[in-house]
Protein backbone atom coordinates (compact mmCIF):
# COMPACT_ATOMS: atom_id res chain seq x y z
CA UNK A 1 0.00 0.00 0.00
CA UNK A 2 1.05 3.56 -0.58
CA UNK A 3 1.09 6.01 2.35
CA UNK A 4 -2.46 7.23 1.70
CA UNK A 5 -3.82 3.67 1.28
CA UNK A 6 -4.86 4.69 -2.21
CA UNK A 7 -3.78 1.55 -4.09
CA UNK A 8 -3.53 -2.00 -2.81
CA UNK A 9 -1.44 -4.43 -4.88
CA UNK A 10 -2.13 -8.15 -4.39
CA UNK A 11 -0.74 -11.08 -6.32
CA UNK A 12 -1.05 -14.81 -6.74
CA UNK A 13 -4.31 -15.59 -4.95
CA UNK A 14 -4.49 -19.01 -6.68
CA UNK A 15 -8.25 -19.26 -6.12
CA UNK A 16 -8.28 -17.89 -2.56
CA UNK A 17 -9.31 -14.23 -2.35
CA UNK A 18 -10.08 -14.06 1.41
CA UNK A 19 -6.91 -12.07 2.20
CA UNK A 20 -7.59 -9.66 -0.66
CA UNK A 21 -11.16 -9.05 0.54
CA UNK A 22 -9.98 -8.66 4.15
CA UNK A 23 -7.34 -6.11 3.09
CA UNK A 24 -9.91 -4.04 1.16
CA UNK A 25 -12.21 -3.92 4.19
CA UNK A 26 -9.29 -3.05 6.50
CA UNK A 27 -7.47 -0.42 4.38
CA UNK A 28 -10.33 0.89 2.21
CA UNK A 29 -8.12 1.66 -0.80
CA UNK A 30 -9.21 3.80 -3.73
CA UNK A 31 -8.27 0.85 -5.96
CA UNK A 32 -6.90 -2.66 -5.90
CA UNK A 33 -4.58 -4.05 -8.56
CA UNK A 34 -4.51 -7.84 -8.78
CA UNK A 35 -1.25 -9.21 -10.14
CA UNK A 36 -2.14 -12.51 -11.76
CA UNK A 37 -2.33 -16.23 -11.08
CA UNK A 38 -6.00 -16.34 -10.13
CA UNK A 39 -6.82 -20.02 -10.93
CA UNK A 40 -10.48 -19.17 -11.47
CA UNK A 41 -13.10 -21.93 -11.38
CA UNK A 42 -15.83 -19.25 -11.76
CA UNK A 43 -15.87 -15.72 -13.22
CA UNK A 44 -13.63 -13.25 -11.35
CA UNK A 45 -16.53 -11.10 -10.16
CA UNK A 46 -17.95 -14.04 -8.18
CA UNK A 47 -14.79 -14.16 -6.05
CA UNK A 48 -14.80 -10.40 -5.49
CA UNK A 49 -18.54 -9.80 -5.04
CA UNK A 50 -18.05 -8.48 -1.47
CA UNK A 51 -15.78 -5.63 -2.59
CA UNK A 52 -17.31 -4.66 -5.94
CA UNK A 53 -18.53 -1.11 -5.41
CA UNK A 54 -16.20 -0.52 -2.44
CA UNK A 55 -13.09 0.03 -4.51
CA UNK A 56 -11.96 0.12 -8.12
CA UNK A 57 -10.71 -3.30 -9.20
CA UNK A 58 -8.00 -3.70 -11.83
CA UNK A 59 -6.02 -6.76 -12.85
CA UNK A 60 -3.15 -8.00 -14.95
CA UNK A 61 -2.81 -11.63 -16.09
CA UNK A 62 -0.27 -14.10 -14.79
CA UNK A 63 1.14 -17.32 -16.21
CA UNK A 64 -1.43 -19.58 -14.48
CA UNK A 65 -4.33 -17.65 -16.02
CA UNK A 66 -3.71 -19.59 -19.24
CA UNK A 67 -3.59 -23.06 -17.64
CA UNK A 68 -6.99 -24.01 -19.08
CA UNK A 69 -9.64 -22.57 -21.36
CA UNK A 70 -11.99 -22.33 -18.38
CA UNK A 71 -9.54 -20.28 -16.30
CA UNK A 72 -8.84 -18.00 -19.26
CA UNK A 73 -12.56 -17.46 -19.99
CA UNK A 74 -13.40 -16.87 -16.30
CA UNK A 75 -10.93 -13.98 -16.39
CA UNK A 76 -11.13 -12.55 -19.91
CA UNK A 77 -14.91 -12.92 -20.24
CA UNK A 78 -15.78 -11.90 -16.68
CA UNK A 79 -17.75 -8.77 -15.79
CA UNK A 80 -14.36 -7.26 -14.85
CA UNK A 81 -12.72 -8.07 -18.20
CA UNK A 82 -12.40 -4.39 -19.17
CA UNK A 83 -10.36 -3.70 -16.03
CA UNK A 84 -7.32 -5.51 -17.46
CA UNK A 85 -4.46 -2.98 -17.35
CA UNK A 86 -2.02 -4.91 -19.55
CA UNK A 87 -0.61 -2.33 -22.02
CA UNK A 88 -2.81 0.41 -20.59
CA UNK A 89 -2.17 3.61 -18.67
CA UNK A 90 -4.76 4.60 -16.07
CA UNK A 91 -4.92 7.22 -13.32
CA UNK A 92 -5.82 6.34 -9.75
CA UNK A 93 -5.93 9.00 -7.05
CA UNK A 94 -3.59 11.28 -9.03
CA UNK A 95 -1.08 8.52 -9.80
CA UNK A 96 -0.39 7.28 -13.32
CA UNK A 97 -0.33 3.49 -13.39
CA UNK A 98 0.87 1.34 -16.29
CA UNK A 99 0.57 -2.44 -16.49
CA UNK A 100 2.74 -4.83 -18.48
CA UNK A 101 2.55 -8.60 -18.62
CA UNK A 102 5.61 -10.04 -20.37
CA UNK A 103 4.86 -13.03 -22.59
CA UNK A 104 7.49 -15.76 -22.89
CA UNK A 105 6.85 -18.79 -25.11
CA UNK A 106 3.14 -17.97 -25.30
CA UNK A 107 2.67 -17.53 -21.54
CA UNK A 108 3.10 -14.66 -19.12
CA UNK A 109 6.67 -14.63 -17.80
CA UNK A 110 6.45 -11.69 -15.43
CA UNK A 111 4.40 -8.60 -14.68
CA UNK A 112 5.53 -5.03 -14.13
CA UNK A 113 3.65 -2.07 -12.70
CA UNK A 114 4.88 1.47 -13.26
CA UNK A 115 3.75 4.39 -11.09
CA UNK A 116 4.31 7.84 -12.59
CA UNK A 117 6.70 6.35 -15.12
CA UNK A 118 8.93 4.57 -12.58
CA UNK A 119 9.10 0.81 -12.08
CA UNK A 120 7.32 0.03 -8.83
CA UNK A 121 6.63 -3.66 -8.90
CA UNK A 122 8.01 -6.56 -10.90
CA UNK A 123 6.69 -10.05 -10.30
In this predicted model, what pLDDT tens digit does every residue of 36-66 receive, in sequence order? Answer: 889 999 999 999 999 999 999 999 988 888 8
Query: What's the mean pLDDT when you consider all of the chain?
Result: 84
Query: How many residues does this entry show for the chain?
Result: 123
* Confidence at residue 33, expressed as pLDDT on a 0 to 100 scale: 93
How far is the C-alpha of 6 from the C-alpha of 62, rounded, in Å? 23
How far is the C-alpha of 1 from the C-alpha of 23, rounded, in Å? 10
State percent of the chain over pLDDT 90: 52
Domain boundaries, the chain: 7-122
The tens digit of pLDDT for each residue in 88-116 reads 888 888 888 888 776 655 555 566 666 66
Amino acid sequence: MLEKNSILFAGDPHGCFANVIYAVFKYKPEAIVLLGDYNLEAPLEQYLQEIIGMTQIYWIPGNHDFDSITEYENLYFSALSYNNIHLKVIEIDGLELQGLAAYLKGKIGCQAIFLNGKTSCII
